[in-house]
Amino acid sequence: MPSFRPPAVGIDLGTTFSVVAHLDEHDRPQTLANAEGERLTPSAVLVEGNETIVGREALKALTSNAANVALCAKRELGASAFHKRLDGHDYPPEVIEALVLNKLWKDAKSQIGDFNQVVITVPAYFDEVRRKATQDAGYMAGLEVLDIINEPTAAAVAFGVAQGFLTRDGKPERAINLLVYDLGGGTFDVTVMRFERDQFTTLATDGDVRLGGYDWDQRLVDFVGSEFQRRYGQDPRMDETTASRLWRECEEAKRTLSFRSKAAVAMDYQGHHLRTDVTREAFEMMTSDLLDRTRFTVEQTLRTAGAAWSGIDRILLVGGSTRMPMVVRMLMDISQKAPDTSISADEAVAHGAALRAGILIAQGGHPLPFSIRNVNSHSLGVVGTDPATGRPRTGVLIPRNTHLPVTAKRTFQTQRANQKTILIEVVEGESASPGDCSLIGQCIARNLPPGLPAKTPIDVHFRYEENGRLKIAARLADGQRVLSHTLHRDNMMNQEQLDAWRRYIAESIA
Ligand code: ADP
Ligand code: MG
């Protein structure tokens, strides 16, 4: 009897566009179109009364009802609520992400049948809090999140498969070093990877969770907006719906400028009409500092990886914004190499996620013949006191770019006799000052046995899983007694809240 295997599905949950892929009967990744027939679904959500609309129609509503449309919620993961209310209600950003996932899931089911297990991708540069928020979004959408994987890793895996390197007899003869440059709508990531025999190893990763095509759009918006204001004394950026219309016009013009040397933006506001011509040259000038920021990060990541351009075999371009000629030109300039164009900048990430789902689902069956090794993109630390100044200071436990999984142990001491609990503040970031790091949460270890003297040592183990999620364990240093603990996270929902949203989404979206 043939054994039933659930479909292997991967979701690239993007800041501006999301993509779903699955493995076909030959284990080849294929993109699934949404109900509207598009391979890319805008990650836009419209809330209007009892109706929640995701995708193209939500984006279209920007021109009539911008106030109730949520865009780029991914950029706000980790905050307690999205920056604006939608139809009078506050939504945590991960709930908006859950609504996007729910639509993608529903549309995929109508094509490949019922399933609920998926792999979701995250920017390599996402911190632990944003990784958890992404998993929570999957849960609230009604899904079972098998794993989250890094977007550049997913793209590299898709590349390896497309090149035929991953068939049992197609192994490359020597190690191949890849640089993945991912410039999407809202985030930027650069990752150096090595592909050897059957293993993908990340050597270094860096990025910016608030830099993407959207910032290029804003430069055009400001250019046209201030021109309008100069001419007519009215600023179209002041009214939300008009500003959204202007943004859509500018984003369109930006795309045109990738293929033509000039584009026009037309704008009507308060009875005035303005048509502004923009040349590619002018556009490149007004955004050159944004491009410079990505160049700087690329060079820095290369150094961190201990690599030189001569040792990089392929440059993979991922993300819609890499279609801008200035990106390719800059990379050719600094590397003296032509970027690889064999993978789809839009779909490679989702394809890699589907391949990862395939590995997880097939384990015990026929696993796909490769493995993946990652690094942490931020240093893990605990907050202590600087003995010299008495000020709070970050004590690094696991430096960034360490191979995962990894465990670090730190021994703390009780301060008083008979102390019942200890509190440890856990942060991620590169600054010695905890205030400049991102707070993961407060770990409180309880049930310390009564009668302990002051200065009793307590061992705390911090473990990053392969996907960058954190696990903590605490025990008495000598007696091996395990202490129960809880990690209090700011801005994060508890299980009851997650379940309530999960029910709400299941019921409200038919
Ligand atoms: P994300 O993964 O962050 O959602 P994508 O990889 O889907 O992003 O890329 C979306 C971004 O790519 C948007 O900012 C979009 O404007 C930009 N983009 C898409 N096509 C082009 C193009 N032809 N020229 C310039 N930018 C483009
Ligand atoms: Mg992306």
DSSP annotation of 74? G
74 is catalytic: yes
The domain segmentation of the chain, as residue ranges, is 9-210+299-373, 213-286, 380-488
Position 232: which residue type?
Answer: Y
Mutation probe of ligand 1 site: the residue of 11, 12, 16 with most atoms within 8 A of C-beta: 16
Residue 79: φ, ψ to 5°: -85, 160
- DSSP SS3 for 69: strand
Rounded Cα distance, 297 and 304, in Å: 10
Give the model's pLDDT for residue 243: 94
CATH superfamily of the domain spanning 380-488? Substrate Binding Domain Of DNAk; Chain A, domain 1 (2.60.34.10)
Ligand 1 midpoint to CA 225 (Å): 22
Rounded Cα distance, 142 and 136, in Å: 10
Give the model's pLDDT for residue 134: 97
Q: Are 352 and 46 in contact (CB under 8 A)?
A: no
Give the model's pLDDT for residue 1: 42
151 is catalytic: yes
The topology under which CATH files domain 213-286 is: Actin; Chain A, domain 4 (3.90.640)
Nearest-CA neighbor of 352 among 112, 120, 108?
120
The answer to whether the CB of 319 is under 6 A from ligand 1 is: yes
338 half-sphere exposure, CB direction, 13 A CA radius: 3
The answer to whether the CB of 255 is under 6 A from ligand 1 is: yes
The answer to whether the CB of 187 is under 6 A from ligand 1 is: yes
Residues having C-beta closer than 5 Å to ion ligand 2: 14, 184
The one catalytic residue in 94, 182, 208, 347 is 182
Mutation probe of ligand 1 site: the residue of 254, 322, 351 with most atoms within 8 A of C-beta: 254
- DSSP SS3 for 350: helix
Scan for tokens 């959500």, then name that residue.
45
Scan for tokens 């706000």, then name that residue.
76
Position 14: which residue type?
Answer: G
Tens of pLDDT, residues 37-69:
999 999 999 999 889 999 999 999 998 999 999
The one catalytic residue in 12, 128, 215, 249 is 12
Rounded Cα distance, 370 and 409, in Å: 31
pTM of the model: 0.93
Give the model's pLDDT for residue 307: 94
The one catalytic residue in 94, 128, 136, 151 is 151
Give the model's pLDDT for residue 146: 95
Give the model's pLDDT for residue 170: 62
Ligand 1 midpoint to CA 321 (Å): 4
Contacts with 67 (C-beta within 8 Å, 6 or more apart), sequence order: 84, 240, 241
Tokens of 174: 């020597």
Nearest-CA neighbor of 140 among 505, 510, 507?
505
Intervals of the chain under pLDDT 70: 1-4, 166-172, 363-369, 479-480, 509-510
The topology under which CATH files domain 9-210+299-373 is: Nucleotidyltransferase; domain 5 (3.30.420)
Determine the Cα angle at 376 with ends 375 and 380, to 5°.
Answer: 145
Nearest-CA neighbor of 7 among 92, 155, 108, 90?
108
